[in-house]
Amino acid sequence: MNIPASDLPGQNELYTDYLYHFENLRKYFEYDYRSLEEIFKCIEYKKETYLNGKNFFRTEVTEILNDQNSAFCSGDKAFSNIRLLNDNNTFAIVTGQQTGLLTGPFYTILKALNAIRLSEFLNDKFREFKFVPLFWMEADDHDFKEINNINLLTQDNKIQNIEYLINGEEQDKYLKPASGIIFDNFINEFTNKIDELLQNSDFKNELMNNIRNFYKPGNNVVLAFAGFINSLIGDRGLILVNPSDARLKKFFKPVFKRELGTAPHSCEAVIDTSDELEAVYTAQIKPKVVNLFYIHEDNRYLIETRENEVYALKHSRQKFSKDELFALLEDHTERFSWNVVTRPVCQDYLFPTVAYIGGPSEIAYFAQLKNVYKIFEESMPVIYPRISVTILENKVKNFMDKFNLTFAELFNEKELARKLIAASSGPDLDSLFADMKEKLTGLFYSYEKELGSIDENQTASFTKRNKQFLDSLDVAKEKYLNLQTKKNEVISGKLNMVSANIYPGNNFQERVVNIIYFLNKYGLNIINRLYEEIKIDDFTHQVITPEPEQINSD
């Protein structure tokens, strides 16, 4: 069951045009993701240009990846793929995400599987080359409020948010990069709350042990993310990258230096493209004069320009002269960090990237970046739309079958409620009983008149009984109304269940619900099923039904 993205609510127009009317956006992208010929052009270009004039070799990068993936509990196939990266005929299929707790929304898993499957597809299509899947963990990101919580579906079909707070307290500002966050004892409250909310199943004990193995006091946010995602994906060859590693950061020095030295050129390039796009679409990102951060005293601050070639760190009192900042870049490159504009350039500077797999928002902001790549003498790779999936559980599928509903109808709760209540409520009881009373009153009156000629006293008693019967209809009506209300409440409850499962908070399941909800019900089989069922060249919203539920309740 596949649904065109344009038939679903909340999709931005640029994304749907990218999927179904690519010609409208062709000038903003380097390659057409739908064309093998265009992908081949990208391969040839990367083969000729990757490493030209760069200050590192493939072997230096792969040695660091080996060290990192050893710490990430990666499998043999991942290390085999790292070795392949030493070869000039090997290219990267890249995706990435913030290091959210337990991987965050379950589209993170979809991205990883998408990269693996696209690598396999290209390995089959272009036998003279090799392609390896690579996951860029956004370990420098400091937006802790975006990664410190997950959403689970409860047994009563409600979305429950579970949050981890450092020291158990809310902070005014979070400026520390994710890579610098170490779990304290309050992580146990987080995992215990998960344990309470998850219903008992055949898989719960193993799942909770796995969660607590990585999400425990003393562990690092990034290491926990990497280890946990590897435990779910298995040995499918995914290479995980921590770009905040100082050993990798030093390779980005030319990128950082050019951004500092040419500012505001990249900002102006984005603005010029945005001005064109905004005639039809909404621009996704707003660039900064300097599109870099600086990590000062373990916190990450945006670099801003001031008069007389002075640089300041936003939300701090720290300032640097131009010479001071460039000297710091030479000696402490690890303190510098990209933003949304410069991150893709850093990523494709470091790796021979043929394709980047991105979701709707990422595709929208890549449309603004083609000329930024040119400033850094780089070329945008193929921007490949990630798969979009809803896991359709049996309880929702049975509801759809019962009422003969299409999947697309599930996204409009108000219309769906009206349709179901109208279909299942039956007659208008007020009108029905009013009509019944009117007809019976007329009938009784005509017979009472005829019977009165025989005996008026007996007829008065007959009339009294008739009135009592008519009054009893009000009691009967109330009973029918109560039954009808209960029936509607059952439907309302089912609608709430469908809404929470399919479109929680008016957002897609993949963007809200954490994967452990499904892991608890179906085990790792749900990962295997997604891997087998997803179609990477079908750019619709894919609906996948898991195996029958296996729940054991106490």
Give residue-wise pLDDT tens across range 137-165. Answer: 999 999 999 999 999 999 888 999 999 99
| 178 exposure class (CB count in 10 Å sphere: 0-12, 13-18, 19+) | buried
Give residue-wise pLDDT tens across range 231-275. Answer: 999 999 999 999 999 999 999 999 999 999 999 999 999 999 999
User: Residues 398, 381: one domain?
Assistant: no
User: Residues 344, 365: one domain?
Assistant: yes
| Rg of the chain, C-alpha, whole Å | 31
Instruction: pLDDT band for 112, please (50, 70, 90 cuts).
Output: very high
Tokens of 465: 């009984």
Please state, rounded to an integer, the average pLDDT across all residues of the chain. Answer: 92
Predicted pLDDT at 422: 65
Predicted pLDDT at 406: 87
Give residue-wise pLDDT tens across range 10-35. Answer: 899 999 999 999 999 999 999 999 99
User: Residues 157, 138: one domain?
Assistant: yes
Q: Which of 485, 131, 140 is nearest to 301 (CA)?
A: 140
Counting residues of the chain whose pLDDT is more than 70, the rounded percentage is 95
Total of domains in the chain: 2
User: Residues 379, 401: one domain?
Assistant: no
Domain residues for the domain of 467 are: 394-505
In a domain, 298, yes or no: no
Position 166 pLDDT exceeds 90: yes
Predicted pLDDT at 1: 76
Position 296 pLDDT exceeds 60: yes
Position 484 pLDDT exceeds 70: no
Local structure of 3: helix, strand or coil: strand
**Contact yes or no for 42/31 (Cβ under 8 A):** yes
Local structure of 78: helix, strand or coil: helix
* Placement of tokens 């590192």 in the chain: 56
Instruction: pLDDT band for 483, please (50, 70, 90 cuts).
Output: low
In a domain, 276, yes or no: no
**Contact yes or no for 510/502 (Cβ under 8 A):** no
User: Residues 366, 401: one domain?
Assistant: no
Predicted pLDDT at 466: 83
User: Residues 467, 347: one domain?
Assistant: no
In a domain, 321, yes or no: no
User: Residues 398, 356: one domain?
Assistant: no
In a domain, 23, yes or no: yes
Q: Which of 327, 317, 324, 326 is nearest to 297 (CA)?
A: 317
User: Residues 365, 435: one domain?
Assistant: no
Position 332 pLDDT exceeds 90: yes
| pTM score above 0.85 | yes
In a domain, 103, yes or no: yes
Local structure of 184: helix, strand or coil: coil
CA dihedral sign of residues 424, 430, 431, 435: positive
Q: What does the pLDDT average to over 321-331?
A: 97
Predicted pLDDT at 424: 65
In a domain, 223, yes or no: yes
User: Residues 245, 203: one domain?
Assistant: yes
**Contact yes or no for 386/358 (Cβ under 8 A):** yes
Give residue-wise pLDDT tens across range 34-90. Answer: 999 999 999 999 999 999 989 999 999 999 999 999 999 999 999 999 999 999 999
Q: What does the pLDDT average to over 471-487?
A: 72
| 385 exposure class (CB count in 10 Å sphere: 0-12, 13-18, 19+) | buried
Predicted pLDDT at 554: 42
In a domain, 231, yes or no: yes
Predicted pLDDT at 489: 64
Predicted pLDDT at 473: 83
Position 94 pLDDT exceeds 80: yes
Q: What does the pLDDT average to over 183-212?
A: 97
Instruction: pLDDT band for 553, please (50, 70, 90 cuts).
Output: very low
CA distance 51 to 58: 8
User: Residues 402, 541: one domain?
Assistant: no
Q: What does the pLDDT average to over 325-338?
A: 98
- Cβ contacts of residue 72 below 8 Å, gap of 6+? 223, 226, 227, 230, 240
User: Residues 418, 365: one domain?
Assistant: no
Position 482 pLDDT exceeds 70: no
**Contact yes or no for 82/123 (Cβ under 8 A):** no
Give residue-wise pLDDT tens across range 367-400. Answer: 999 999 999 999 999 999 999 999 999 989 988 8
In a domain, 310, yes or no: no
Q: What does the pLDDT average to over 408-417?
A: 80
The larger pLDDT score, comparing residue 167 to residue 493, is at: 167
User: Residues 16, 111: one domain?
Assistant: yes
